[in-house]
Amino acid sequence: MPRKTMPLTPLEIKGAKPQNKPYRLFDGGGLYVEVSPSGGKLWRMKYLIDGKERRLSFGAFPAVSLADARQRRDEAKKLLANGADPGEVKKSQKATRQVELANTFKAVSLEWLEKQKPKWEESHFKRVKARLDKNVWPWLGEKPVSDIEPVSVLEVLRKIEERNAHYMAGRVKESISRVMNYATATGRAKGDPTVALRDVLTAHVEKHMASITDPKRVGEILRAFDAFTGTHTVRSALLLAPLVFARPGELRHMRWVDIDLIAGLWELDRGSMKMRQPHIVPLSTQAVEIIKGMQPVSEHLEYVFPGGRDPKRPMSDAAINAALRRLGIDTQEELTGHGFRAMARTILRERLGFDSEWIEAQLSHKKQGALGSAYDRTLFLEQRKGMMQAWADYLDKLKAGGEVIQLNTAA
């Protein structure tokens, strides 16, 4: 077919019929439509670079209209005028886009989560992942991290605030921030977009975890624990919790290898501690007896309190709170598994008169300031041994309904 030099029209392109061999309809400036024997109509542009003929592909008609093809031709000619090869520019842009698509927010989030997994408790890992899955990935998951702007994050956070979940909005913002900082550190983003959102969220009024500090009510609760009719594992954990007042995650991850029943010590390693510091918990004689009661059940396993479904794993993180609710105790307003720490801290100091430094050391609270990083797991260990035995004896008195006494043990 003879070469046509007049500009094409959409109607002419649409009406072009396939032939036995491919043929071309030229529009000008190197732009043409190549009509294949199957009827396909592909936009092409030929150009010279360093004396060599090259070709560009712009897509198929009618998905790419005549006007779109001409615009792409003009953009390519501008690149040529500036000494650039439009074919190489296109390849570079395609490669960049592929990298961006491989580094979506969800992909980078999953990579970041895997980096944190060895350092976190499994329950915390699942909680953060679920938080992102529910609140972030549906809207930002497929976006390249390099394209995420503060306004995009704000839209996500506003959706959460619309549910009046202000605490969750803050936690989600923190998770997004950590993912974006990771993306920045690994060269895939330019910065953390949440920095610009510092004062845009509705403030969350923190509600402290429920606890009990009235000795009479503590005695009633302890008597209720004695009457618990659930599994031996959960009952034992429930009885032990107020005696050691460890964090719930630490209690359920208690391992036989970390316990010296003769010396009456439970040594937690770095991996099981929230503050990532090793810690020693003195065990009262009452605590030792409860742990001994678990020997027939789990001494051959890793964990003292094994899971009900999978004994190779620790007891569920919801087990203690579920047991409290089963006993009719309001875990929202009165007591949670974590509340034993506040209970012990308050009563040990205000009613039994123990030194606050001994108590803070027993709670494994990190000191503030320059010496904070130098936590000593044996800090006040001998004093804490006496304090923990006195605490267990005091709880026995409360449980028996005996007189609430004032101890003046501390100097």
Give catalytic residues, as residue numbers. 247, 274, 338, 341, 365, 375
Q: Give me the helices (H) in 293-338, please.
A: 295-298, 319-326
For residues 362 and 356, give the distance between their C-alpha atoms in angstroms, rounded to a whole number.
Answer: 10
Cβ proximity of 172 and 136 under 8 Å? yes
CA 368 to chain centre: 26
Cβ proximity of 324 and 239 under 8 Å? no
The amino acid at residue 65 is S
Whether the ω angle into residue 62 lies within 30 degrees of 0, i.e. cis, is yes
Q: How many CB atoms within 10 Å of residue 11? A: 8
Angle between helices 339-350 and 232-244 (to 10 degrees): 40
Cβ proximity of 349 and 247 under 8 Å? no
Cβ proximity of 180 and 192 under 8 Å? yes
The β-bridge relationship of strands 52-60 and 259-260 is: unpaired
Which residues are 59's β-sheet partners? 43
DSSP assignment of 160-195, as one string?
A: HHTTT-HHHHHHHHHHHHHHHHHHHHTTS-SS-GGG
